[in-house]
Amino acid sequence: MRSVKWGWTSAACALLAGAAAALSSPGETQTAPPLRIGTSGDYAPFSFPSETAAGGFDGFDVVLARAFAEAEGRPLELVRFHWPELDAALREGRFDIAMSGVTVRADRSLVGRFSLPVAESGAVALVRDGERFPDLAALERGRAHIVVNAGGHLEQIAHERFPNAQVEALSNNAQVRSTLLEGRADAAVSDTLEAREWRRGAEQLRVLGPLSRDRKAPLVRADLPELAEHLDLWLFAREADGTLSELRRVWFGDRHPAATAAPFAALLAAADERLALMPLVAEAKRRAGLPVTNEAQEARVLDAAVRAVDEEAARIGQARRAEAAVRGVFQALIAAARRVESRALEIPRIEGTPHPPSLDGALRPAISRITPKIAEALVRLDALPPRGALRQRVREELRTPNVADEDAERLADALSAYLEAGGVPRPVAVSATRPAPQPAGTPAVGPGRGRVLPSQ
């Protein structure tokens, strides 16, 4: 795998020097514990082995991990994981954050706390024989032999999209590409970003799809909410100062990347993550004999949301938000959630399917972990597209199945009302120089600390 090299600029050198001076003083000793980042090392361009990079790995997420550890004033420890063990590794505390092109999925929201999305991709199929398999339907009709990396999001996509094909999950992701190129499989499931790397020197491979629209985000341990908050605020700043955009351009070859960690995009991503949990909530309620609507629980959710927004506004020195407008946004989310639950319950439960996660033990805690992200984005929201474009954007970004257009439009209107009601008293710029709050015992963060600089 080729390594992407960045050119050092005088501005970058000055920023490094200023950050170092702000962080340290003569005789100061760094005593902070290491920041343990889980990485797969098998998923270019996010994480792959490198003989020259520090820690033995390089890639988009590895560069982010290095810079975030530096911003936290903590040494970085890269911990390799295999995709089938990701959930268990996070639960067991083998690392603090998984940063390896992790796809945002409802089952993963149950075991950790996703930070802001840093990239978007879509699952694709790569085929050697474009005449035999000119489209995705041909793969399904021809009962093709399809290989895919085991244990990750793409294996799930492969089984769902090609139920009649012979899907073989391989434990080594490098073998997926070689198996296809050597003619031992008809197709391989990858994604739009990885496929770009796989086609280097193998331009005869044809790309079919995409099969999905996916968000990639760091996944933080559920018991580390302060660390998740630090990472959120740091990513807001890195999006605002153009660093994430430049990283996407370099690592993904994307000249016009989506600003996934900007407040509006991050808010919609969090809303979609919340809605994606609702089919599981519906199953848990069905099993417990509970109704979809629980007004007492919804009132508690609304009160918690208002508190979260007020606390975030106060923390960054902003005025208290208009409570009715904040409630309107979350009421729109609750209404959309009710409909997704109701539509999920229209499908009869199949005997023998696994029991859903616990409503109070797993699902509601996962939903409550998403609320602070929505609050963070709301207090930084200072502009929206015009009404028609806003409604269209919200419809497009709420990707959970069974979200009704009228619910998406209600959320769009609630966001407009939030701004019109003085939801943001003045434009909120995410400062690259404002330090994130630091946990006890870690060094203070100086001005400019944490900007992503050239990959070593």
Architecture of the domain whose range is 10-120+215-252? 3-Layer(aba) Sandwich (3.40)
Write the DSSP assignment of 195-237 as a string of letters: HHHHTTT-TTPEEE-----EEE--EEETT-HHHHHHHHHHHHH
pLDDT for 438: 34
CA dist 6 and 110 (Å) reads 37
With beta carbons less than 8 A apart as the criterion, state whether 193 and 101 touch.
Answer: yes
pLDDT for 31: 78
DSSP H helices, 132-288, are: 136-141, 153-161, 173-181, 192-198, 225-240, 243-252, 263-276, 278-288
Q: What is the pLDDT along the chain (456 residues), one digit of tens a residue?
A: 444 433 333 333 333 333 333 333 344 445 789 999 999 999 999 999 999 998 899 999 999 999 999 999 999 999 999 999 999 999 999 999 999 999 999 999 999 999 999 999 999 999 999 999 999 999 999 889 999 999 999 999 999 999 999 999 999 998 999 999 999 999 999 999 999 999 999 999 999 999 999 999 999 999 999 999 999 999 999 999 999 999 999 999 988 889 999 999 999 999 999 999 999 999 999 999 999 999 999 999 999 999 999 999 999 999 998 999 999 999 999 999 999 999 999 998 877 778 899 999 999 999 999 999 999 999 999 999 999 999 999 999 999 999 999 999 999 999 999 999 874 444 334 443 333 333 333 333 322 334 344 343
CA dist 119 and 261 (Å) reads 9
pLDDT for 339: 97
pLDDT for 82: 95
CA dist 286 and 282 (Å) reads 6
Residue 81 CA neighbour count, 13 Å, CB half: 28
CATH class of segment(s) 123-212: alpha beta
CA dist 278 and 335 (Å) reads 11
Compute the C-alpha angle 26/27/33, nearest 5°: 115
Domains 10-120+215-252 and 123-212 share a fold: yes
Q: Could you tell me the residue ranges of all domains in the chain? A: 10-120+215-252, 123-212, 263-420
CA dist 367 and 277 (Å) reads 8
SS (H, E, C) 10-70: HHHHHHHHHHHHHHCCCCCCCCCCCEEEEECCCECCCEEECCCCHHHEECHHHHHHHHHHH
Cis peptide before 210 (omega within 30 of 0): yes
Single out the residue of 231, 192, 185 nearest to residue 215, CA to CA.
Answer: 192
Query: Which of these CATH numbers, 3.90.70.10, 1.20.59.10, 2.160.10.10, 3.40.190.10, describes 263-420?
Result: 1.20.59.10
Amino acid at position 113, single letter: R
Cis peptide before 437 (omega within 30 of 0): no
Q: How far is CA 136 from CA 47, 128, 198, 414, in A?
A: 28, 13, 19, 39
pLDDT for 169: 97
- Taking the mean position of all CA atoms in its chain, how far away is CA 261? 9
CA dist 358 and 456 (Å) reads 45
Write down the pTM of the prediction. Answer: 0.87
Between strands 119-121 and 214-216, the pairing is: antiparallel
pLDDT for 30: 54
